[in-house]
Amino acid sequence: MPRTEFISVGFHVPERVMTNDDLTQWWETSDEWIRERTGIEQRHWVEPGQEAGSDLALEATRKALAAADMDASELDCIIYATLSPDYFFPGGGVFLQRKLGIKGIPALDIRNQCTGFIYGLSIADAWIRTGQYRRVLLVGSEVHSTGMDFRPEGRDVSVLFGDGAGAAILGPTEDDGRGVLSTHLFADGRYAEKLWCESDASARFPRISHEDLDAGRHYALMEGREVFKHAVVRMPQSVRTALEANELSLEDVDLLIAHQANLRINEMVGRQLGLSEERVYNNIQRYGNTTAATIPIAVTEAVEKGLLNRGDLLLLTAFGSGFTWASAAVRW
């Protein structure tokens, strides 16, 4: 059975840069507070109402297609991971497909928040190994800025998130030893309300009311400390699981790319695993948390900076709302 390789990657972020200082026009916060607690220095936001998540995904996909010297018509399937779909339904995948000017191929939407890219990778890997699809476009794309809670109490969540998209084109490789070695997916729904958005929701009647809007139930709600506590345990655990599954050790790891939610979380993860700073790639400083897009954006940058080369062992890990968490071992 062939393995799945990353044929190419690409990413796109909107032009508008919002520094920490820029945020003080809405919230009582400071560059110092945000940097110290999260490492974030700036993030990119769309021009409100001008760019949707599927537009960012389109740009990221175009770059990945160009890097692979491929045309969109050569794609067999789209997997689109997001927690901020353009619309409640249909999912973002069909909008991306339409913007790519192709039709007929399946478009699957993944709703696993910060873990969405690795969940999507797992599905793409299964399809490619079994021969169902040969050229899979896997995209993570988010627009958070149009859903920011601009009330004073929104400051804890709103300063963390940014907009952006990352894309990977995946396909089979017969090059023995290279490709996705394994993926490992986990979830624990007992913590669903620790980081969630309650309304607009079909579980409620009415789905959204004036009272919900007044109470801000349509904004993301997070118990930050609880999320932090679980993230620093689950991500290292999932990395170890991936290594054990492949009879590899931490010494074998060339690069760890963890979900970019908080630099402090990733520093703790790196320390727990005994990985030196050079072996852990972070870019949250410039983009904030772009949820399903953090990993493909970081992978693209790592490739562009020459930090990830053919044959290197790349470990991916993510943790987020659900709670869900996941890892992947990839021989690049």
From residue 176 to residue 215, the character string flagging contacts with ligand COA as x (rule: CB under 6 A) and all else as - is -------------------x--------------------
Q: Quickly count helices (H) and strands (E) in the chain.
A: 11, 13
Q: Which of 77, 259, 266, 282 is an active site residue?
A: 259
Phi/psi of residue 104, each to 5°? 100, -40
> Containing H/E element for 21?
helix 20-23
Characterise 184 by phi-psi region: left (phi > 0), alpha (psi -120 to 50), beta (else): beta
Q: Return the residue nearest ligand COA (CB atom).
A: 224
Least distance to ligand COA from the beta carbon of 114, Å?
4
288 three-state secondary structure: coil
d(CA 230, CA 171): 33
Q: Is the peptide bond before 161 cis (omega within 30 degrees of 0)?
A: no
CB 256 within 8 A of CB 280: yes
24 binds ligand COA (CB under 6 A): no
Query: Binding residue for ligand COA (CB under 6 A) from 26, 186, 196, 228?
Result: 228
- Paired tokens of 103: 């039709």
Nearer Cβ to ligand COA (155/331): 155
Q: Parallel, antiparallel, or unpaired for β 313-320 and 255-258? A: parallel
Does 289 bind ligand COA (CB under 6 A)? Our answer is yes
Among residues 128 and 261, whose Cβ is nearest to ligand COA? 261
224 contacts ligand COA (rule: CB under 6 A):
yes
User: Is residue 42 a contact point for ligand COA (CB under 6 A)?
Assistant: no
- Helix intervals (H) in 159-223: 210-215
Closest approach of ligand COA to the CB of residue 320, in Å: 4
CA angle 95, 100, 102 (to 5 degrees): 95
Q: Has 114 been annotated as catalytic?
A: yes
Site string for ligand COA, 71-110 (x = CB under 6 A): ----------------------------------------
Question: Position of tokens 């290292």?
Answer: 236
Contacting ligand COA (CB under 6 A), which of 60, 68, 114, 284? 114
Of residues 41 and 59, the one with the C-beta less far from ligand COA:
41
d(CA 28, CA 34): 11
Nearer to ligand COA, 128 or 227 (CB): 227
Name the 3-class secondary structure at 253.
Answer: coil
For residues 136 and 232, which CB has a smaller minimum distance to ligand COA in the complex? 232
The secondary element (H helix, E strand) that includes residue 181 is strand 179-187
Given the residues 12, 20, 77, 114, the one annotated as active site? 114
Options 156, 198, 212, 254; binder of ligand COA; rule CB under 6 A: 156
Q: Which residues are catalytic?
A: 114, 259, 289
Residues near ligand COA (CB under 6 A) are: 27, 29, 33, 37-38, 114, 155-156, 159-160, 195, 222, 224-225, 227-228, 231, 261-262, 265, 289, 320
